[in-house]
């Protein structure tokens, strides 16, 4: 299925290209329409007609008239490229009328272009004009008007300049590019320096004391619950023993005395059951309380030993400075 899909897409693209390529008759009609548009000085539309016709057969005449329209639009750089192409085509296809017109057209268009030479750019620099990459070695041939020049080079700040050029300008621009400032880490000032730059723990409010204090509070709370549960557990154990002894005396030590107790033993059996439940509850609270105490104590000690002193880093970077605070745990 994937191969079939690729074949269909390729076939569709080729079919579209065939449809877009005009026949010789369509090219002839487009040329005639272009000439009528030239009479009306509709340069943009005429350019499209000539270039469309040139898709069928690239002749010196079609290329020349497309270049002529571009020249009238002030797009001299594009026009010069097409004039030079027409000059190359004359060597292959005879066109006497165009051959006579081309030298003057090339000279005229070349003279209208502004030439800009760049000097002082560092090695490996790249040049962009209006977002298009241009060669650095040769002079830049640009249409009159405003252009945005951008020069970039490794390890250098970007150079930018807006150029306003006129017909036939010949200028040289010295590109001055500043090296990028490497990031530098400034060590902390000594203790005698200002309070704001001293990284010592006593001069910085950190979260460490609060964390240690919180862990200690949790541990002490658990210890309190554990002690409370221990006292009540001992009382419940003692109460259970006393009630069991009393029931044994009343029944002569019968093991099933509280399974179906007599009316006189109901109250004692109920108290014995409550005492046993209290003993189990207090035993559970003892485990939870002392475990919480151990966890809180361990956390407080760990924070106290492992929490490192905070550090402040200051780094100079292009366009500003960087201030960083970090610690470790």
> Could you read off the pLDDT of 29-84 as tens digits, one per residue?
999 999 999 999 999 999 999 999 999 889 999 999 999 999 999 999 999 999 99
The ranges assigned to domains in the chain are 20-112, 114-174, 207-309
For residue 138, the model assigns a pLDDT of 79
CB 41 within 8 A of CB 72: yes
Closest CA to 53 of 41, 42, 63: 63
Q: Which CATH superfamily is domain 20-112 in?
A: Tetratricopeptide repeat domain (1.25.40.10)
Place of tokens 């006579």: 100
At residue 308 the predicted structure's pLDDT band, cuts being 50, 70 and 90, is low
CB 238 within 8 A of CB 295: no
Query: What digits encode the pLDDT tens for the residues 11-32?
Result: 444 544 444 688 989 999 999 9
Closest CA to 26 of 62, 68, 60: 62
Query: What digits encode the pLDDT tens for the residues 101-122?
Result: 999 999 999 999 999 999 888 8
For residue 272, the model assigns a pLDDT of 76
Q: What HEC string does 18-51 produce? A: HHHCCCHHHHHHHHHHHHHHHHCCCHHHHHHHHH
Per the structure block, which two tokens stand in for 61? 């005449």
Whole-Å CA distances, 84 to 63, 77, 98, 106, 112: 9, 11, 12, 7, 15
């Amino acid at each position: 299925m994937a191969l079939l899909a690729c074949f269909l897409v390729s076939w569709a693209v080729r079919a579209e290209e065939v449809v877009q390529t005009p026949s010789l008759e369509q090219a002839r009609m487009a040329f005639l329409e272009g000439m009528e548009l030239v009479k009306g000085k509709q340069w943009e539309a005429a350019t499209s007609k000539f270039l469309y016709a040139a898709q069928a057969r690239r002749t010196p005449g079609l290329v020349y008239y497309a270049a002529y329209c571009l020249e009238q639009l002030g797009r001299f750089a594009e026009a010069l490229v097409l004039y030079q192409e027409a000059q190359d085509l004359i060597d292959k296809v005879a066109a006497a009328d165009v051959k006579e017109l081309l030298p003057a057209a090339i000279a005229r268009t070349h003279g209208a272009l502004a030439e800009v030479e760049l000097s002082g750019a560092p090695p490996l620099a790249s040049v962009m004009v209006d977002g298009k990459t241009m060669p650095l070695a040769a002079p830049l041939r640009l249409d009159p008007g405003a252009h945005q020049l951008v020069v970039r080079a490794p390890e250098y700040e970007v150079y930018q300049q807006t150029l306003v050029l006129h017909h036939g300008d010949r200028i040289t621009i010295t590109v001055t590019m500043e090296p990028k400032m490497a990031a530098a880490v400034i060590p902390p000032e000594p203790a005698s320096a200002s309070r704001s730059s001293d990284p010592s723990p006593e001069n910085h409010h950190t979260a460490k004391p609060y964390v240690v204090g919180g862990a200690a509070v949790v541990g002490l709370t658990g210890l309190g619950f554990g002690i409370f549960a221990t006292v009540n557990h001992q009382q419940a154990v003692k109460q259970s023993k006393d009630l069991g002894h009393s029931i044994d005396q009343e029944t002569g030590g019968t093991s099933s005395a509280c399974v179906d107790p007599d009316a006189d033993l109901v109250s004692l059996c109920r108290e014995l059951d409550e005492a046993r439940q209290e003993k189990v509850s207090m035993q559970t609270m003892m485990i939870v309380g002392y475990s919480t105490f151990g966890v809180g104590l361990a956390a407080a000690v760990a924070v106290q030993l492992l929490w490192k002193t905070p550090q402040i880093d200051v780094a100079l970077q292009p366009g500003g400075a960087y201030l960083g605070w970090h610690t470790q745990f």
